[in-house]
Amino acid sequence: MYGKCHLLKDARQVFDEMPQRDLASWASLFTAHNLAGLPLSTLSIFPNMSRLDGFQPDHFVFASLVKACADLSALRVGKQAHGQFIVSPFSHDDVVKSSLVDMYTKCGALGHARKVFDSIFHRNPISSVAMISGYARNGMKPEAMELFRSSQVKTISTWTALISGMVQSGEFFDAFSLFIEMRKEGVDISDPYVLSSIIGASSSLAALDLGKQIHCLVIIFGYKPNLFVSNSLVDMYSKCSDVLASKTVFDDMAIRDVVSWTSIIVGMAQHGKANDALSLYDEMVSEGFKPNEVTFTGLISACSHYGLVERGRGLFKSMTEDYSLNPSLQHYTCLLDLLSRSGLLDEAENLLETMPFEPDEAAWVALLSACKRHGAAEMGMRVANRVMSVGPTEASTCVLLSSVYAGAGMWGNVSKLRGLMASLEVKKEPAYSCVGLSGECDVKSSCV
């Protein structure tokens, strides 16, 4: 009871005070840790079951262990649990097998997942959903569609597994086609997660009109108060450049989490509203929310585009000192861009040389662009030579280098870069358009 109410401390106290424990007691303890988001604790406690009470796992315990491995994507430990399950008296339990299918798909081991799936005597929706989702998430569209079409019963969970998997693997148009098919078949949308997923597809395509239509469905089905759906809408409107609508959705949310705040802050930052982003950040912190790495990326980037050097430095420092977050290469690159744009080139170069990461091409290019912009010829040549020694991989980098070397009269290097650009074989990605045809949606592609 305490575990299901997420009162782990109370659950653990009751467990420790029990004069006698059985397998059900241990299984409940493992489940409580899994529900509390502590799968690693589940695995670390498991050996005590045999050491303290001499029990061997039953099917309930196996299911909890496999669930913990799935949450951690711990394939090696999951295989060990699978091996122990096979030689146990419970090796034919279909519930544990369904958990194994889920674990293997989340670890990307689709071959192992399918073998376990095929061994299930009584197929259940849980195992089918896990297998379909695994195929779709890992880009195995034909296998996902074949299994989906062969399913005798297609519940909202089955549709959601396929659609969300397609979105996660970048098959956005297939996801929309499936969503339209689901609607035509009259499937009851009893789970809002499918709406959250298809909103995500709208975000990735920057398809504002489609996103608005899904927003209407959200209102019609009464899922406006749902936190995950609202977060998806905030993100979608931001990525579709409608920050006013994004802020409206955000303001209407009765409950918010760090994802809500980060989505609106990053959206404002990316659309030139640095002051709004920083004000929202201050409000977020005052309400007791802890910003994450993505929050700081958006904020420092906003400071960079508006020359807010001291605020940007303060935010970078706050990551480690106030929130114990380790800055990534992306954070260092944002800070580098802030310093470079503000003309603090010596400090920017020193940051490149001393940061705990090997600078990538984007970092060097940020400094090189600033050198060219601020007329720092000597440093620009030094940075250009560094990039050339590594070997540029982007055509835009080659163009910038060529301009720097041409300005210095180094025509030999210019010639080398032109040859390199030709060898990169840069190809234009096809563009897509969505045209309404009598209520239908016709997707077209073009490459010009």
The overall average pLDDT reported for the chain is 88
pLDDT single digits (tens) 261-306: 999 999 999 898 999 999 999 999 999 999 999 999 999 999 988 8
**pLDDT score, position 247:** 97
- Cα 165 off chain centre by: 13
Instruction: Quickly tell me which residue has 């035509």 as its tokens.
Output: 184
pLDDT single digits (tens) 19-43: 888 888 888 888 898 888 899 999 9
Domain boundaries, the chain: 1-122, 256-342, 366-420
Mean pLDDT of 65-88: 93
- List the structure tokens of 281: 């950040």
Quote the percentage of the chain above a pLDDT of 70: 92
**pLDDT score, position 440:** 47
Mean pLDDT of 62-85: 93
pLDDT single digits (tens) 236-265: 999 999 999 999 999 999 999 999 999 999
| Phi and psi, residue 445, nearest 5° | -125, 155
Mean pLDDT of 110-117: 94
pLDDT band at 415 (very low <50, low <70, confident <90, very high): confident
pTM of the complete model: 0.79
For the structural domain made of 256-342, what CATH number should be given?
A: 1.25.40.10
* Higher pLDDT pick, 16 / 272: 272
**pLDDT score, position 1:** 60
- Amino acid identity, position 77: V
Give the whole-angstrom CA distance, residue 393 versus residue 415. 16
- Amino acid identity, position 397: T
**pLDDT score, position 446:** 45
Comparing C-alpha atoms, which of 81, 88, 79, 25 is closest to residue 52? 25
**pLDDT score, position 4:** 66
CATH topology identical between 1-122 and 256-342: yes
**pLDDT score, position 447:** 42
* CATH topology classification for 1-122: 1.25.40
